[in-house]
Structure 1
Amino acid sequence: MARQYRSDRLSQEIEKEVSDILRRRVRDPRVEGVTITGVDVTGDLQQAKIYYSILSDKASDDQKTKAGLEKASGLIRKELGSRLSIYKTPELSFIRDESVQYGDKIDQLLNKLNRD
């Protein structure tokens, strides 16, 4: 139980810090407008999946953003290591959060049903 609490707490800290790092330290124009929506850390605290969303629905923008995040992952991990008080900084992987688009699609369907 304590291990789950620790990984949840670390997930929250990583989410907060990565958002701050992207806003203040990363200068890559490909990652402007990226919102961190969640972080999942494995039980052994060695890997972190960082979920992000962007406002654009274009596949090309998604690829550019993914490439920008992968390019900046070394800087982000280094900054996380200096900001967090943990023994080893987890490896980062960035995954696009599709829940925003899914929620928008559901909202459109509900609006369509209400009009009919």
Structure 2
Amino acid sequence: MGNERQARLADRIRVLIAERLEKGLRDPRLGFVTITDVRVTGDLQHASVFYTVYGSDQERADSAEALKAATGLLRSDVGRQLGVRLTPTLEFILDALPEGAAHIEDLLREARERDAAVAGLATGAVFAGDADPYLKPREDDEDDEA
């Protein structure tokens, strides 16, 4: 029951903050910000808001400063529209998911290239020993048994 309430509250906070950012904050430092996730603590007192910023490292830093400066305004907007007794505090955290996904994509691409190189080397390869390395009974042994 409590987890459902947490999830509903987190989803509602995500929507409210995203809508408010879409309308604009009148802060020129704020870049193209996307709210990716919100997690609310079990006591509903604190909300961690995860976001991504499209752009350079400088734009990410500027957007982080703009969100930090606007935290009070965003919290009051959220509190006014949520209708709960206590409005959770907001903490904005840069979501590293896109960078992590890009890193994983690079690793997968590198693995595919190495696999292709190994496959290329294996095309002309010959066995170091016999083609079939398993022991088989000799024909002499079969005659002895009969």
RMSD: 1.3
CA contact (8 A) 1:50 1:94 kept: yes
Shift of 1:29: 2.3
In the TM superposition, 1:1-116 aligns within 5 A as 2-58=1-57, 60-116=58-114
CA contact (8 A) 1:41 1:48 kept: yes
1:90 and 1:39 map into 2 onto residues whose CA distance is 12
CA contact (8 A) 1:36 1:51 kept: yes
* 1:30 alignment partner, SS class: coil
Identical-pair percentage = 33
| Structure 2 residue ranges without an equivalent (≥5) | 115-146
State the one-letter code of the partner of 1:9: R
Question: Which structure carries more relative contact order (alpha carbon 8 Å, separation 6+)?
Answer: 1
CA contact (8 A) 1:48 1:93 kept: yes
Task: List per-residue Cα deviations over 1:57-81 (Å, max 9, x = no partner).
Answer: 41x3332111100111111111111
State the one-letter code of the partner of 1:14: I
2:73 and 2:4 map into 1 onto residues whose CA distance is 27
TM-score, normalised to structure 1, is 0.90
Shift of 1:32: 2.6
1:26 and 1:78 map into 2 onto residues whose CA distance is 13
Shift of 1:85: 1.7
Shift of 1:9: 0.7
What is the count of residue pairs matched by the alignment? 114
State the one-letter code of the partner of 1:74: G
Rg bigger for which structure? Answer: 2
1:77 and 1:25 map into 2 onto residues whose CA distance is 15
CA contact (8 A) 1:33 1:55 kept: yes
CA contact (8 A) 1:46 1:90 kept: yes
